């Protein structure tokens, strides 16, 4: 009687393992996509931070430069692209 059930359980175990492997593959693909999206967002944040740092440096230069007419310097910097 037990020997009969073994022949039933072996194919069921194989089907279960195949299903589990498919589930693991799906999770791996989801994790890879999530990692890629996170890397893209990190790059965007880094670029935005760099632009903000450039703007702060410009403002610091304007504030600390006493020999330049402030309004002329602001207008000149508005016309200059930061990239």
- For every residue of 9-56, DSSP letters joined together read HHHHHHHHHHHHHHHHHHHHHHHHHHHHHHHHHHHHHHHHHHHHHHHH
pLDDT tens digits, residue range 9-53?
888 888 888 889 999 999 999 999 999 999 999 999 999 999 999
What global pTM score does this model have?
0.52
pLDDT score at 28? 97
> What pLDDT shows up at residue 2?
66
The pLDDT of 56-74, averaged and rounded, is 75
CA distances from 68 to 45, 65, 73 (A): 33, 6, 7
Q: So what's the pLDDT on residue 83?
A: 59
Token representation of residue 82: 């930061």
| Rounded Cα gap, residues 83 and 80, in angstroms | 9
Give me the torsion for CA of 36, 42, 48, 52, rounded to 10°: -170
Q: What is the pLDDT of residue 76?
A: 78
């Amino acid at each position: 009687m037990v020997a009969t059930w073994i022949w039933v359980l072996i194919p069921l175990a194989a089907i279960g393992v195949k299903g589990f492997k498919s589930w693991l593959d799906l999770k791996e693909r989801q994790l890879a996509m999530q990692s890629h999206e996170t890397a893209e967002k990190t790059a965007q944040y880094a670029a935005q931070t760099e632009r903000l740092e450039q703007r702060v440096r410009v403002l610091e230069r304007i504030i600390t430069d006493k020999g330049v007419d402030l309004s002329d310097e602001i207008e000149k910097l508005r016309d200059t692209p930061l990239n």
